[in-house]
Amino acid sequence: MMKRPHLLYRNGFSVIGASISVGGLKKGPDLGPLALLKSDPQWLKELRDLGISATWTHSKVADETSFWQRPRCEDDFRQSLPIVAEFARHLSSTVMKTVMNDQFPIVLGGDHSIAIGTWSGVAQGLNWHKPKSNLGLIWIDAHMDSHTPQTSPSQAIHGMPLAVLLGHGDPSLTHIGGSQPKISPQNLVLMGVRSYEVGEEAFLASQGVRVMLMSEIQERGFQACFREAIAVVTRDTAGFGLSIDLDAFDPIEAPGVTTPCSLGLRASEVIPVLQQIVGHPLLAGLEFAEFCPPLDSAQGSTFVLLKNLLSVFMTPRGLSAKVNIAS
């Protein structure tokens, strides 16, 4: 019998599609979840054949047609805000119910504004199981995504989710699932960062958040950095999440993203390390963001990368893997 130590594995997996792109600067990430669903992933069948519950839920699809039909302007933030806020509230509720039902949530985006809903929902679900508990978060991304409306040059909300989760930003976003911050600065780690603005850098520094630039990962190695990140996000927390923006990877491997950034992570280094945390007793949820099918290579390399990342956690072999990252 497979060992599934975390409470949230008890009733299997819930894969949640989060179709939205209005939080970013380009349309296309909203198509990512549907592309995966249409591929009829073999790993879902493998899990079901073994009697492990694996369900697919498509969260509300954002109604953003009118937004993309209008020309972009200085008021983009105010135009996109109600769409993103409504979507985040719905996603948060879906994720919260998943966690309360003792299922393990895997959210597939969608632009990275989905993180507002994902981790607000996980935080609420964990607090339902264990009141006043803290949630840790590892954020693997080429960008800091920590702007507020006052610091963001683009005013795109996909560049703001971490600030929101830390309790800073528009109340329609920060108050989803309650007015309290969803993440504490001391339990947040950013990894792979190599493109950012002064405003968000200063904000994270003022909060005391641990940021591992890509240069540090190249020097120390992904394994050593990830081991440190696990120590940070599990310190006095009831659980931790892992959010992966596919633009964290080098565009050679992941061209199908809206904001590619050179000199990124390589799957050959990241995937073996992630395999070591499968079944971690505090792993509370996963999120993958910014897959944009129209921008992918003819060979579908970004799509393949995403499926390989998912397969780390959602295959029978993966579920039975030994947890040794902290050893």
Annotation marks residue 63 as catalytic: no
Catalytic residue among 64, 76, 141, 253: 141
The SS3 call for residue 146 is coil
Catalytic residue among 64, 76, 111, 145: 145
Q: Which of 30, 76, 111, 143 is catalytic?
A: 143
Contact (Cβ atoms closer than 8 angstroms) between residue 118 and residue 127? no
Distances in Å between the Cα of 293 and the Cα atoms of 31, 254, 262 are 7, 11, 19
Cα 246 to Cα 121: distance, rounded to the nearest angstrom: 22
Under a CB-based contact definition with an 8 Å cutoff, are residues 260 and 248 in contact? no
Catalytic pick among 30, 76, 245, 287:
245
Residue 135 identity = L
Residue tagged active-site, from 76, 90, 147, 158: 158
Give how far Cα 110 sits from Cα of 182, 222, 232, Å.
20, 26, 27
One-letter amino acid of 177: G
Catalytic residue among 76, 111, 200, 247: 247
* Catalytic annotation present for 147: no
3-state class of 232 per DSSP?
Answer: helix
Contact between 140 and 191 under an 8 Å Cβ cutoff? The reply is: yes
Q: Which amino acid type is present at position 215? A: S
Q: Does residue 30 have an active-site annotation?
A: no
What are the CA-CA distances from residue 252 to residues 31, 192, 260, 297, 309 (Å)? 21, 16, 10, 9, 16
Nearest to 165 by CA among 95, 117, 109: 117
Helices (H), the chain: 32-38, 42-49, 65-69, 76-100, 114-129, 161-165, 171-174, 198-207, 214-220, 222-233, 267-274, 301-313, 316-319
| Active-site pick, 200, 250, 290, 296 | 290
- Residue 262 CA to residue 142 CA, distance in Å, equals 9
Return phi, psi of residue 15, to 5°: -90, 125
Catalytic (active site) residue 58: no
Is residue 6 annotated as part of the catalytic site, yes or no? no
**H or E stretch at 140:** strand 135-140
Active site residue 75: no
Q: Where in the sequence numbering do the catalytic residues fall?
A: 112, 141, 143, 145, 158, 245, 247, 290
